[in-house]
Structure 1
Amino acid sequence: MSDFLGHFRDQEQKHTKERIYPTQCPYCSMQCTMRLVEEKTPYTTRWKAAPNKDDPVVQGRMCVKGVEAHVHTLDHERLTQPLLRQNGRWVMISWEEALEWFQRRVKETQERYGKDAVGVYGGGSLTNEEAYLLGKFARVALQTRYIDYNGRFCMSSAATAANQALGVDRGLTNPLSDIPAADCIILAGANIAECQPTMMPYFRKAKGNGATLIAIDPRETATTKLADIHLRIRPGTDAALVNGMLKVILEEGYVNEPFLKQHTTGWPQLKTWIESVSTDEVAGITGIPRDTIVAAARSYGQAATGMVFTARGVEQHAHGVKNVRNFLNLVLVTGKIGRCGSGYGAVTGQGNGQGGREHGQKADQLPGYRLINNPQHRREIAQVWGIEEHELPQAGVSAYEMFQRVWEREIRGMVILSSNPVVSNPNATMVEEALDRLDFLVAIDLFLSETAERADLVLPGSAYLEDEGTMTNLEGRVIRRQAVRSLPGEAKLDWQILAQMAQVLGKGEYFSFSSAQEIFTELRQASRGGIADYSGISYERIEREGGVFWPCSDENSPGTARLFEDHRFWHPDGRAKLIPVPHLEPPEPVCDTYPLTLTTGRYMAHYLTGVQTRRTPALLKKAPEPLLSIHPETAKRWNVEDGQQVQVHSRRGSIEMKVEITTKIREDIVFAPMHWGGENGINRLTLPELDPESRMPAFKTCAVRLEPVIATLPTEGKERSDIDGKAQKVGVGR
């Protein structure tokens, strides 16, 4: 037997053929490149990921998700043929039948209810080309005003605040390589170690250079462990905290008066406001000791260089825009911007969260970060697209508001591309019920996600290994992703599906592309002269230079890695804008009935709604289920033990979860991850209160109560759920 096994291994090694494909991770905004290695033997094919040490951004670093990123693309549950729901069951049909069905349903719906009766919903993981084409598809092929995307839940508050204060929204004002030059770094609501792990070495290098790291987070995380100062804030009080820091900076003389006088507006009003702030009151509001607030303010104020980074912990609030505006006040009051080691960064979450909002899949935007209600911007894009300006619809509504329109039956049909809104939206039960009210729902996806399961027609799209195009990482660096594998079965590239759908709607002449590069060529033209100007960027340049920073309006321009080096901001007067930001309480305060604050976030092993990562065995093993984190003292008050099941109740519903007791959390809050849907979906509880400016929902603060579950024997024959949180029974009617 041993001789046989030895011979088997010898033959396998002798005949193993290895091929290496350059690719990049599809997950977070770092967009790490890597090598995908295919090993073929006479008996099997194995795939593994290897680092790319030539990557200018991460220099060969990979995280656990990147190492496993290829696994879901090979999953046996990949959709490979169009599926149509007939009599409550899925039936495989041809593409010709699928497109004919789609054309008929759109025509019937729009003839009866108007063009706006059909909506479009996209995703922040699409390539720039697909995001651009989706916006064009909505406005030219469907001629609807209703389009938005899941990036609304990621960057909208930071984007709105940056546009207001600086005149431009590019995630980071500086390249990542500037971070080690910062003497003080503030990470506000940003758990980098778990959400963008390959970004952490930049902060470790800064620490090695002597930088002070300040982390603002209600929980202790792998990120806060690196910090010199951890401000364990009460969720929803970020603006108050910054007011306290500004008070110290003003009183102790760290204000950069020459910078403020020459390059900003609004300082006199902000100064008057800061003078009225009491640091003792701030300590009471935030739950952070006054001395700790003073120490943090001094560290940032005294530093010669400094950087401030915000993420979802600051932004996913009903006052998220104002929260970010105050952090930008902190940056501007000290003049720490436009230099190496000095600037601001909104840490983008999704793979193409930055590029995805620049080219038109957001309700109020057109390509190049133009505004759809601006007459000049409309004329410019209409000319590129070869249509009349009046043919362009006006602005629609935000992501969550679209599902309210669906509930109200104003939107009767919908196309969803590469997104899972029944898990990612707040008040998710309402979203589920709204989708069931649609006359028709079309989902383009890799799998039968929780959303696709509710569709009438499901079209098999493309995974990142099959889909060429460009992405824009969190720095604003445009990079190119190559296709390295063939599509499975009858699946099609996402952009090809959109083009064919446009064709059957009679708009094929506007979508006659033969490659992603052709779409990018038109995108470059459409972005020319816009804030996000890509016109000087080409596939060839990206390949040659390892990525190009926007704005880049000339092929001979190096691109703009660091914004505002001349201290001229992107408002007409060239000045940044300061405003006073009073503290506003969260819209749903705790009370006797709901005395705890629920906040949500991520696990390192999972990505967004988990459709891909929960199909990856190695990642699912690391985090097999969602846990409710609760402080030991809080657990005592609620008579809850570690590992026990509890019902978590909010004003919108309840779910059952297992408890994880930990000292790494404030006593007045509980924490749950967002990666599961169905009965484990935490967004069945979250608050749909929207920021009045960005329309970002208040994911980070909602009032809840707990109810311990008394263990009972399982009911015999109870329907079992698989790793996607969906019923094993497929084909149940809507």
Structure 2
Amino acid sequence: MKQTQCPYCSIQCTFHMVQEEHFYRASPNKQDPVVHGKWCAKGMHAHVPVLGEERLQTPLLRQKGKLVPVSWETALHWFQANVRRIQQEHGKDAVGVYGGGSLTNENAYLLGKFARVALGTRYIDYNGRYCMSSAAAAANQTFGIDRGFTNPLSDLPHAQCILLAGTNIAECQPTLMPYLLQAKANGATLITIDPRKTNTTKIAHRHLSIRPGSDAALVNGLLKTIVEEGYVDWEFAQAHVDGYEAVVTHVRNICWTEVERITGLPKEDIQQVARTFGQAATGFILTARGVEQQPNGVMNVRNYLNLLLLTGNIGKKGAGYGAVTGQGNGQGGREHGQKADQLPGYRHIDHPDHRRHIADIWGIPESELPEKGVSAYEMFDKILEGDIQSLIVFASNPVVSSPHVHRVKAALRQLKGLVVVDLFLSETAQMADLVLPGSSHLEDTGTITTLEGRVTLREAVIPSLPGTKQDWEIMQEMAHALGKEKGFRFVNSEEIFEELRRASQGGVADYSGISYQRIRQEQGVFWPCPSENDPGRKRLFEDRCFYHTDGKARLVPVAHTQPQEQLDRQYPLVLTTGRITQHYLTGVQTRRTPALLQKASEPFVQMHPATAEKWGVKDGEIVRITSRRGTVELRVQCTDSIREDTVFVPFHWGEEQCINRLTSPLLDPASRMPAFKYCAVRIEPAEAASHKTKELAEISS
């Protein structure tokens, strides 16, 4: 019996793998310090696709239009020739790297090093840009540090009020739910802000069914009440917060009529929520993609942090902030070099001292370290513009996960070399010139940083499958193929982590005091942890000192912003997307898990019965959903748990069922996160829409 971790969400529940004759069985770990033996349906079956027949076990090379099995030697020779030719013709930046939030810290670190040292390219980013980059940017701007949760999860039951904004924890991180239920049992008031009634809103005392895209206005209403009714912690604000006066002045001038019009909520409901939060001795705010995946996602989060800090709810048990991370290692993935603008230790790539430190660790002149690149979605712009000629995609599926998928596919078709490293022939891998079989969570030892900032160690429990290699081995062999052996001679993941420790030392995300031995002994260590004698910082800001140079947090007034993509007579409804319990991200693994696929075999469009009646569609029938970018046909699921002006579709499917054919590529100006949560659409019966399309085609001809 061996212990491993779930590959899916950011809770990273542990379980045991037991081999019984010719198959493996998983069982929950009751000694898990975070979830205490809880697990969800996805984690329960996480080993099934990994050991299934669709798992890739040999490199595939496109020959005469088809992907055919080849040896590793042939694959790496093609890779070498392709990269060298492209970089000789177009420069080093002509090859880009697109990483993934499921990679271990070691693999994320090595991928960043591979991109900047072996390839010498500025163009590297990762799919975490789609996940919680807006929360990350907001936390950095406000606190001077970005760690998903400012407090350990064990603090949640001590909060007297918990505000959950744009997060459906019951379906996305179900093993976190016991903390909320315990808080409720302890007398806490739970408040949810979501355009839909979900399994999370069902446990709440109050639910604000907000109009999508109106979070900034809602929080301004909350702040106006907090200020005018005397719930501001003035002593804390004056001593530890910069900019609070401007926020106070701003919200005093807010017009309630405007707040009601924008949010679709009555003044009295907003005031009652503000009073509940303001009167609580300890308050916690949790945000997720519903707040962040908007063109103004960073400012949305900053306004929630305005609310948190004006009430003094930080740096103590039961009071803090949590960005509910979506991916398993979304936190660690951005700390150590996968993001375009960051270097290991959460250092800034354009900061001279930061560059020198990393260049010294990597044994290269600082001048050879590339400058900042662009965000994940903007890399496809660079492909279409001809700046990027070849792309290496590592453990990601942007053909399904990106907005405006048609444009992404057009970009990938234009490449002179697409290399994909994955466990399966994903939708992106199917477009590749070269596919390399990577390693799964069961085979690849490495550290994962959970949403609360706890660095955990996921041990390999089975040997690599025949024909596959560890992810870090693949990166090293690609580096060797390019003649870059120096700096890529690691013999195991622990050696990579030891270098990561040195690289992160002195950075904001300082892991230098963390070792594999400590993690095993202590069941995880919180960062920052600057020395082996340091216990790790479980709760940030207990000394009321923030990470800006003056030690103060930063508040800013946030304006009421209207969605850039407006509704009109042609596109009168708001489309918002999200997850369902049975599936994870683009479904590459969960759609290959029979027990999960049986319960959720196809996507759907959820709409209010009154909306369905208005647009002439019925529950259970196929409808056509059209945005300014494309069309998808899905089955209707009528429910009164959603606003009449909003429809919801899960995003776990690809090809003809891919809802990201429709979504908006508008990006937040600071985080560069796409606006997945707001898209103008129309709904019509599929049969009627087909007749209309046929008539238009006949007229055109």
**Structure-1-length-normalised TM-score:** 0.93
Tell me the secondary structure at the aligned position of residue 56 of structure 1. Answer: coil
Partner of 1:134: 111
Indicate yes or no: 2:405 matched with 1:428.
yes
The answer to whether structure 1 residue 150 and structure 2 residue 127 are counterparts is: yes
The one-character-per-residue Cα deviations of 1:149-205 (angstroms, maximum 9, x if unpaired) are: 000001100000000000000000000000000000000001000000000000000
* In structure 2, C-alpha distance between the alignment counterparts of 1:279 and 1:711, rounded to whole Å: 43
Q: Could you give the per-residue CA deviations for residues 642-689 of structure 1, whole angstroms, max 9, x where no partner exists? A: 111111111111111111111010000100001001110000100000
8 Å CA contact 1:427, 1:683 repeated in 2: yes
5 Å matches for 1:458-477?
458-477=435-454
1:36 matched to 2:11? The reply is: no
Which residue does the alignment assign to 1:24?
Answer: 5
SS in 1 for 2:58: coil
Aligned partner of 1:116 in structure 2 is 93
**CA RMSD, 1 decimal:** 1.0
User: Does structure 1 residue 375 correspond to structure 2 residue 352?
Assistant: yes
The answer as to 2:560 corresponding to 1:567 is no
CA distance in 1, matches of 2:570, 2:341: 39
- Residue 383 of structure 2 corresponds to which residue in structure 1? 406
Q: Choose from 440, 457, 462 the match for 1:480.
A: 457
SS for the counterpart of 2:84 is helix
Distance 1:219 1:37 in 2: 40
Letter in 2 for 1:652: R
Kindly report which structure 2 residues correspond to 1:75-114, keeping only aligned pairs within 5 A, or say none. Answer: 75-114=52-91
Q: Secondary structure at the match of 1:710?
A: helix
1:397 and 1:405 map into 2 onto residues whose CA distance is 9
User: Could you tell me whether the CA contact under 8 Å between 1:218 and 1:233 is conserved in 2?
Assistant: yes
Q: Could you tell me which residue of structure 2 aligns to residue 52 of structure 1?
A: 29
Asked if 1:73 corresponds to 2:21, the answer is no
Cα deviation for residue 709 of structure 1 reads: 1.4
In the other structure, the counterpart of 1:7 is none
Residues 48 and 67 in structure 1, CA contact (< 8 A), matched pair in contact too: no
The match for 2:693 is none
Shift of 1:279: 2.7
Looking at structure 2, the residues matched to 27 and 432 of structure 1 have their Cα atoms a distance apart, in angstroms, of: 26
Task: Give the distance between the partners of 1:688 and 1:373, measured in 2 at CA.
Answer: 26
Specify the code of the residue in structure 2 equivalent to 1:349: G
1:8-52 per-residue CA deviation (whole Å, 9 max, x = no partner) reads xxxxxxxxxxxx221110000000001112211xxxx23222111
How many residues end up aligned between the 2 structures? 690
Is the Cα contact below 8 Å between 2:624 and 2:689 reproduced in 1?
Answer: no
Asked if 1:212 is matched to 2:193, the reply is no
Cα distance in 1 for residues equivalent to 2:261 and 2:433: 53
Please give the alpha-carbon distance, in whole angstroms, between the structure 1 residues aligned to 2:359 and 2:24.
46
- 3-state DSSP of counterpart to 2:374: coil
SS of 2:448's partner is strand
Secondary structure of the structure 1 residue equivalent to 2:231? coil
Residue 280 of structure 1 aligns to which amino acid in structure 2?
T
Name the CA distance, whole Å, in 1 between partners of 2:625 and 2:431.
26
**Aligned partner of residue 102 in structure 2, secondary structure:** coil
1:646 equivalent among 614, 623, 630:
623
What residue in structure 2 maps to residue 493 of structure 1? 470
Q: Secondary structure at the match of 1:416?
A: strand
Q: Which residue of 1 aligns with 2:498?
A: 521
Deviation of residue 711 (structure 1)? 8.9
Shift of 1:433: 1.1
The corresponding residue for 2:699 is none
Structure 2, unpaired ranges of 5+: 691-701
Deviation by residue 1:577-598 (Cα, 9 ceiling, x = unmatched): 0110011111101001100010
Please state if 1:709 is matched with 2:690. Answer: no
Pick from 199, 204, 207 the counterpart of residue 227 of structure 1.
204
Select between 501-510 and 359-368 the one with higher mean Cα deviation. Answer: 501-510
What residue number does 2:428 align with?
451
Distance (whole Å) between structure 1 residues aligned to residue 616 and residue 558 of structure 2:
40
Q: TM-score, normalization: structure 2?
A: 0.98
Aligned counterpart, 1:257: 234
Any conservation in 2 of the 1:184–1:305 contact (CA below 8 Å)? Answer: yes
Contact 1:247-1:279 at 8 Å conserved across structures: no
Alpha-carbon distance in 2 for matches of 1:575, 1:585: 30
Percent of aligned positions that are identical: 63
Contact 1:674 1:682 in 2 (8 A): yes
Q: CA deviation at 1:489?
A: 2.0
Separation in 2, partners of 1:597, 1:88: 40
Q: Residue by residue, what CA displacement relative to the aligned partner does 1:45-92 show, whole Å, maximum 9, x if unpaired? A: 232221111110000000111111100101101110111010011221
- Name segments (4+ residues, structure 1) moved above 4 Å: none
User: Which residue does the alignment assign to 2:39?
Assistant: 62
Residue deviations 1:366-409 (CA, integer Å, cap 9, x gap): 00000001111000000000000000000000000001111122
- The equivalent residue for 1:614 is 591
Note the C-alpha offset of 1:283. 1.7
- Report if the CA contact (8 A) 1:318-1:586 is conserved: yes
Structure 1 distance, partners of 2:19, 2:222, is 53
Establish whether residue 288 from structure 1 lines up as the match of residue 265 from structure 2.
Answer: yes
Which residue of the partner structure matches residue 318 of structure 1? 295
In structure 1, distance between residues paired with 2:560 and 2:146: 24
Answer yes or no: is 1:604 the counterpart of 2:581.
yes
- After superposition, give the CA deviation of every residue in 1:533-588 in whole Å (9 maximum; x if it has no partner): 00000000000000000000010110000000011100000000011001111110
CA distance in 1, matches of 2:250, 2:133: 26
* Aligned partner letter, 2:4: T
The Cα of 1:432 is off from its aligned counterpart by 0.8
Correspondence for 1:670: 647
* CA displacement at 1:123 relative to structure 2: 0.3
Offset, 1:712:
12
Matched, 1:697 2:674: yes
Give the letter aligned to residue 358 of structure 1: E
Report how far residue 510 of structure 1 moved. Answer: 1.2
Q: Distance in 1 between matches of 2:460 and 2:652?
A: 27
Aligned position for 1:360 = 337
